[in-house]
Structure 1
Amino acid sequence: MSVQIQSLTRHAPNASRKMLDDVSLTIEDGAFVALVGPSGAGKTTLLRTIAGLDGPYEGTVLVDGRTLAGRPMRERRIGFVFQNYALFRHMTVARNIAFGLDVLPRRERPDRRAIAGRVAELLELIQLPMLGDAYPDQLSGGQRQRVALARALATKPGLLLLDEPFGALDPIVRRQIRRWLRGLHDQLGLTTVLVTHDHDEALEVADRLVVMQNGRIVQDAPAEMLDTAPATPFVMEFLGEALAFQGRVVQGSFLPDDANVLRFPVAATDGPATAYLRPHEIRLVAEGSGQATVFGGWLGAMRRLEVALGKRTVEILVLPEQIHHAGIEGVSLDITRARLFRDGALLVWKGG
């Protein structure tokens, strides 16, 4: 199922602010899209509006080319998994999964044998075939998450909407569940929209990330493009730890304002600019007057250093051999990769 949104605006109940501000978005059939952004960005509001759970709003929301207005929930073919799972504690796992089928109008409801077969099929799909008679309180967090997904899939939706579904799980279980979810998406040919504030989670499972800020979409792109060409400094900083160096572009080179940071060539017009980079996109060079101090522990194979540049100190990540070759006294920083911004917009990308 596809989703088309045009000029969507939703006001807060007191109308003092916009929860969604002129949002336009297209989600193709079979895509896996993650809505990411900080708390209050409008992610869940957008998800609930797609599902037809909230209103009123201005603009157009079409699912498979049709408006949801006036269509009963059972005809929308949308599965929704809430952040708290919303399982019925007094029902067994099997009855929870069957709930959406049990409440269909009589003329549309499968018979008991068909419902039991569908539940058994879903229990196998979520790899919990022996837990149909268990109750939610007897399950682990990861198992409850799978049951919530199975319940959402019981009516065979074409669109699966997930609102922060992994927030209550520990890191190891989160990784296992999201990899399983991605496999499930591919296996069933669903269109999936995931809301999360965890950019690592989104990068692992989604084809595209839609970055939201203050009720607006600030960038919609594949993960690799968000890293190499973030539309704004906010996108760069939201997607991971970032360093910023003020400076100027002069005759084809970026000249940082900080002492002991080397200039580098860029194809950009002259004028002020800010270089944004990840802490590992930089090298220690054995020249200059900077002072490096080993700071904290390891991040993978890299060591965290604190480097005094003069007026300020920055934290970088380097391989141990760089410390060995460059030392930690009398150093400069050589930026190997950066994204240059001017007036809040991406100016140029420097690869290394």
Structure 2
Amino acid sequence: MSVRLDSLTQYAPGTSRKLLDDISLTVEDGAFIALVGPSGAGKTTLLRAIAGLGGRQEGALHVDGLPLAGRPMRDRRIGFVFQNYALFRHMTVARNIAFGLDVLPRRDRPDRASIAARVTELLDLIQLPTLGGAYPDQLSGGQRQRVALARALATRPGLLLLDEPFGALDPIVRRQIRRWLRDLHDQLGLTTILVTHDHEEALDVADRLVVMQDGRIVQDADAETLDAAPATPFVMEFLGEALAFPGRIAQGWFHPDDANVLPLSTTAADGPASALVRPHEVRLVEGRGTAAATPLKGRQHGLRRFHVALGQRDVEILAPAEQADAPGPVALDIARARIFRDGTRLAFG
């Protein structure tokens, strides 16, 4: 099931304040995308708009090439999983899963035997075949999450919308559930849209990340593109730790303001700019500066963390552990930095 939004703008109730501002987005049939961004970016508002639950809007929303507006809920084939699962505590697992089928209009509702067979099928699918008679309070967080997903899948949706579905789970269970979810997505051939504030979670399961800020889409790309060519400093900093070095471009070189950071070549036009680089992309170069590098106890991805005193500021970088024994002052090589001016990426150094 495909989704297309064209210049969608949504307003806060009774006001002219924009909650979503000129959103255009295409989600291909069978894709798995993640909406990411800080709190208040508009992720859940956009997800609810795609479900047809938004308020006053301008623009167009099409699902499978047809306008969503005016289409009865039962005909939309959209499953929605909320962060708090929204399971009915007084109902068994089986009844929770069957709920979406039980409330269909009589002419569309399967018979009891068909509903029971569908529940059994879904219990097997979520790997909880013996827990149909249990109640939500008797389940672990991960099991409740699976039941919520099964309930969303009961009516055979083509589009699955997930709003921070892993937020209440501990880290180990979160990793297990999201990998299981990705496998389930592939197995059923769904189109899935996930909302999360955790970029690592999004990178683990999604084909594409849609980065949002202040009700707008800042960048829509796969993980490799977002890392190599972030559109703005915000995108780069949201997706991981980054060090910023202000400076100036002149005659094909970016010259950092700090003399202990080496220049890097660029094709960008002359003028003020800023270079952003990941801590693990920085190299310590002996004999080229006066900075002092001190090894710290922390390690990350097999690299040693170093505290570097540049003079006017201190930074922490990640470098091979053997550099802890390197004598003498150092300079920083930031040749892998991305260069920005006025909030827009200019070049990859």
TM-score normalised according to structure 2 size: 0.97
Contact map agreement 2:295 2:324 (CA 8 A) in 1? no
Displacement of 1:98 in angstroms is: 0.5
Distance 2:40 2:134 in 1: 37
Displacement of 1:239 in angstroms is: 0.3
Displacement of 1:296 in angstroms is: 4.7
Distance 1:16 1:110 in 2: 44
Distance 1:259 1:158 in 2: 57
Distance 1:344 1:105 in 2: 52
Distance 2:259 2:54 in 1: 53
Give the aligned partner of residue 109 of structure 2.
109
Residues 190-205 of structure 1: pairs in structure 2 closer than 5 A: 190-205=190-205
Q: Secondary structure of 1:280's partner?
A: helix
Displacement of 1:275 in angstroms is: 0.7
Once the two structures are superposed, residues 69-97 of structure 1 have per-residue CA deviations (whole angstroms, 9 ceiling, x without a partner) of 22221110000000100000000001100
Which residue identity does 1:348 align to in structure 2?
A
Displacement of 1:16 in angstroms is: 5.1
Distance 1:44 1:278 in 2: 29
Distance 1:14 1:209 in 2: 32
Contact map agreement 1:283 1:322 (CA 8 A) in 2? no
Displacement of 1:323 in angstroms is: 2.2
Which residue identity does 1:169 align to in structure 2?
L
Distance 1:12 1:62 in 2: 22
Which residue identity does 1:331 align to in structure 2?
V
Contact map agreement 2:3 2:63 (CA 8 A) in 1? yes
Contact map agreement 2:13 2:55 (CA 8 A) in 1? no
Give the aligned partner of residue 178 of structure 2.
178
Distance 2:64 2:278 in 1: 40
Give the aligned partner of residue 150 of structure 1.
150
Distance 1:185 1:221 in 2: 20
Residues 80-159 of structure 1: pairs in structure 2 closer than 5 A: 80-159=80-159
Residues 1-352 of structure 1: pairs in structure 2 closer than 5 A: 1-15=1-15, 17-287=17-287, 288-324=289-325, 326-327=326-327, 329-350=328-349
Displacement of 1:284 in angstroms is: 1.0
Once the two structures are superposed, residues 250-301 of structure 1 have per-residue CA deviations (whole angstroms, 9 ceiling, x without a partner) of 2222211112111122222222211111000011111221012233511131
Which residue identity does 1:127 align to in structure 2?
Q
Q: Secondary structure of 1:60's partner?
A: strand
Distance 2:54 2:255 in 1: 50
Q: Secondary structure of 1:217's partner?
A: strand
Distance 2:79 2:198 in 1: 22
Which residue identity does 1:343 align to in structure 2?
D
Distance 2:224 2:18 in 1: 30
Call closer, same or farther: CA 1:315–1:16 in 2, change over 3 Å.
farther
Q: Structure 1 stretches of 5 or more lacking a match?
A: none
Distance 2:81 2:233 in 1: 32
Displacement of 1:14 in angstroms is: 4.4
Distance 2:61 2:28 in 1: 14
Distance 1:344 1:90 in 2: 52
Which residue identity does 1:137 align to in structure 2?
D
Contact map agreement 1:277 1:337 (CA 8 A) in 2? yes
Distance 1:35 1:346 in 2: 21
Distance 1:93 1:14 in 2: 40
Which residue identity does 1:297 align to in structure 2?
G
Distance 1:296 1:57 in 2: 53
